[in-house]
């Protein structure tokens, strides 16, 4: 599998409006837009981090749209904070096939469509030293 770079860091927040006051106003990260992914019961806001040639990284703020989605559960258990890291891969189907072959536990066996139309899949934290890892292909 070829990992191209860190695509984004997911940060769970109680409120994107309130969360943006640090990430956008204090750190000066450029707000690139927000989007609700109903299937995941989440609204996401992307903020651009720096400019690596050919590779853009972002912070993804995640606000729950309901009381029972994955982000609501995360916030109830741990409060606001770092929630997942997303690695951009060249080919997500190949990456998932390789991980499956190596016996790595996956949350998503096949890619689904995330914010921004990216193909995404999550690995199980039990297989990743407790870090929720997302693979993403754009």
In the complex, the residues that contact Co ion under the rule CB under 5 A are: 10, 60, 86, 134
CB of 134 to Co ion, least distance (A): 5
The residue among 10 and 19 lying less far from Co ion, judged by its C-beta, is: 10
The residue among 7 and 99 lying less far from Co ion, judged by its C-beta, is: 7
Distance separating alpha carbons of residues 30 and 101, to the nearest angstrom: 39
The residue among 99 and 115 lying less far from Co ion, judged by its C-beta, is: 115
DSSP assigned state of 14: S
CB of 92 to Co ion, least distance (A): 13
**DSSP code string of 62-123:** EEESSSSSHHHHHHHHH-SEEEEEEEEES-HHHHHHHHHHTT--BS-SS-EE-GGG-EEEEE
CB of 115 to Co ion, least distance (A): 7
CB of 5 to Co ion, least distance (A): 14
- Among 131, 108, 104, 137, CA closest to 121: 108
CB 136 within 8 A of CB 86: yes
The residue among 45 and 99 lying less far from Co ion, judged by its C-beta, is: 45
């Amino acid at each position: 599998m070829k990992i191209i770079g860190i695509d984004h860091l997911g940060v769970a927040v109680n409120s994107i409006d309130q969360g943006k006051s640090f990430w956008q106003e204090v750190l000066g990260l450029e707000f690139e837009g927000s989007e609700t992914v109903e299937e995941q019961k989440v609204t996401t806001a992307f903020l651009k981090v720096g400019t690596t040639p050919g590779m853009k990284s972002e912070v993804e703020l995640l606000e729950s749209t309901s009381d029972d989605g994955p982000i609501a559960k995360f916030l109830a258990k741990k409060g606001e904070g770092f929630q997942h890291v997303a690695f951009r891969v060249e080919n997500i189907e190949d990456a998932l096939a390789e991980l499956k072959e190596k016996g790595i536990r996956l949350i998503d066996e096949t890619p689904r469509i995330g914010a921004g139309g990216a193909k995404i899949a999550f690995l199980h934290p039990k297989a990743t030293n407790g870090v929720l890892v997302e693979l993403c292909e754009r």
